[in-house]
Structure 1
Amino acid sequence: MSWISDHLLALNGTLVLIAVFLLPALESSVFLGFVIPGESAVVIGGLTAYNHTNPLWLVLVAAIAGAIVGDSIGYAVGSRWGDALLNRIPHKLLKPAHIRQSKDLIARLGGRAVFAGRFAAALRALVPGLCGVSDMRYRTFAVWNMLGGAVWATAFTLIGYYAGASWHKVESYANTASWILVGVIAVGVGGLLYLKRRSEKRAAARFEGDGDGESEVESPEQQPTLGEHAAG
């Protein structure tokens, strides 16, 4: 994607801001994250802030807005046409394995999948639409979408800003770092869910044990009276 980055750098400041908004919006709105370089555009936006072509705050606003708007459109598209659209995309562009990974992520993490999926391009393109397909509540989706979009856009804008002249090297590592981060998040959340379920099972076992102990105690009606002892 370096040729796209080079073309973006040749644009004036206003057009770069438009690209910083538009490319992140397109990559997750219609399952195009595998061909639309949203991360590259945001990194380049940070670089233009470093070069004083654009104000840093304006690049951040454009990147965050593009990320959030794009995911929201992706959710709506998935809710309306998700399965039919996915079936029409050639497997060379969209691997079935990526669809399975996204569905597994949603099944394990719920709304947190929106945040985790934001940090890997293939998942970023699919997770919003698959959340719509799976009928996730939009309120839940929106909260995690805003959080994930803000963190992702801020992180990659600042990467471009602080990388400065070394942005090419940073850009080449960005996708790998994204997948590593997704793995760390998934493992961490999976571990927390496992500990929570284990704790719930222990609590249920203790409750059942207490219930069995109480059932062995005779009620006052079942205990023999003093008269019955005497009669015996």
Structure 2
Amino acid sequence: MDNFWEYLQNLTDAQSIISLGFYFLLIVVFAETGLFFGFFLPGDYLLFMSGLLCSSSRLNVSIYTLIFSLIAAGVLGNYTGYWFGYRTGPKLFSKNNSIFFKQRYVKLAEDFYTKYGGMALVLGRFFPIIRTFAPIFAGVVKVDLKKFTLYNIIGSVAWVNTFTLTGYFLGRKYPQIKDYMEYIIIGLIVITTIPLVIAFIKQMVTKRSVKELK
């Protein structure tokens, strides 16, 4: 348990994050929202942290530059994911599982998209894994590029502003919040993971029901 807390403390150390640099934040957001192997990256956490660090001037950019740049990275990431899905098409569904790719992630994105349609590209921004694979699946099914662009921009604006500005304004109002980052991160993990756990359980129940019917 002590090792776990030590890991969280290192992960939330402001100096460590700053040493990675502003452009690292943009690369992470781009990768998580467009590259299929980026699903494990902590996008929500880094958005929140970037806003928090910006509020105390420990991240040497203005909040306006930060927000605009993160939105742009998210939009470009989704375009990359769409292009990848468009080019690979159905082949993606026959790709073998690996450490960086799981078929169940594609199926999860497919079910999410089937349920919410184009809005999956907006709502999916707030859920790990879905955030990465929803634009890829949109490319697989060849969603109209104009519609995809609209949802892409709306989703990126909503996601970035929600987490980054939350961190920014909390940091301005409660400067001491940095002393409780371990608990905040655990809260973020729990909040963003619960919907995915529910989705996986529903998938398992549905598969079991289908097997029983057969």
TM-score (norm 1): 0.67
- Residue 10 (structure 1) aligns with: 16
Larger Rg: 1
CA distance in 2, matches of 1:59, 1:89: 38
Give the C-alpha shift of residue 78 in structure 1: 0.8
Which consecutive unaligned segments of at least 5 residues does structure 2 have? 1-6, 172-176, 198-214
- Residue 42 (structure 2) aligns with: 37
Give the C-alpha shift of residue 18 in structure 1: 0.8
For CA contacts below 8 A with separation 6 or more, give which structure has more relative contact order. 2
**Do structure 1's residue 79 and structure 2's residue 86 form an aligned pair?**
yes
> How big is the alpha-carbon RMSD for the aligned residues of Structure 1 and Structure 2?
2.9
Alpha carbons of 1:130 and 1:98: their partners in 2 closer, same or farther (altered >3 Å)? same
Q: In the TM superposition, what whole-angstrom CA distance separates every residue of 1:171-206 from its partner, at most 9, and x where no partner exists?
A: 2222332356789xxxxxxxxxxxxxxxxxxxxxxx
CA distance in 1, matches of 2:10, 2:18: 15
CA distance in 1, matches of 2:10, 2:95: 26
1:99-118 equivalence runs, <5 A = 99-118=106-125
Alpha carbons of 1:117 and 1:171: their partners in 2 closer, same or farther (altered >3 Å)? same
- Residue 46 (structure 1) aligns with: 51
TM-score (norm 2): 0.73
Equivalent pairs: percent with the same residue? 23
Partner AA of 1:118 in structure 2: R
Residue 129 of structure 2 aligns to a residue whose secondary structure is helix
Contact 2:31 2:77 in 1 (8 A): yes
Residue 22 of structure 2 aligns to a residue whose secondary structure is helix
Q: In the TM superposition, what whole-angstrom CA distance separates every residue of 1:37-56 from its partner, at most 9, and x where no partner exists?
A: 22222122112112212322
CA distance in 2, matches of 1:168, 1:158: 19
- Residue 75 (structure 2) aligns with: 68
Contact 2:89 2:141 in 1 (8 A): no
1:68-217 equivalence runs, <5 A = 68-85=75-92, 87-88=94-95, 90-161=97-168, 162=170, 164-165=177-178, 166-179=180-193
Contact 2:9 2:182 in 1 (8 A): no
Aligned residues: 183
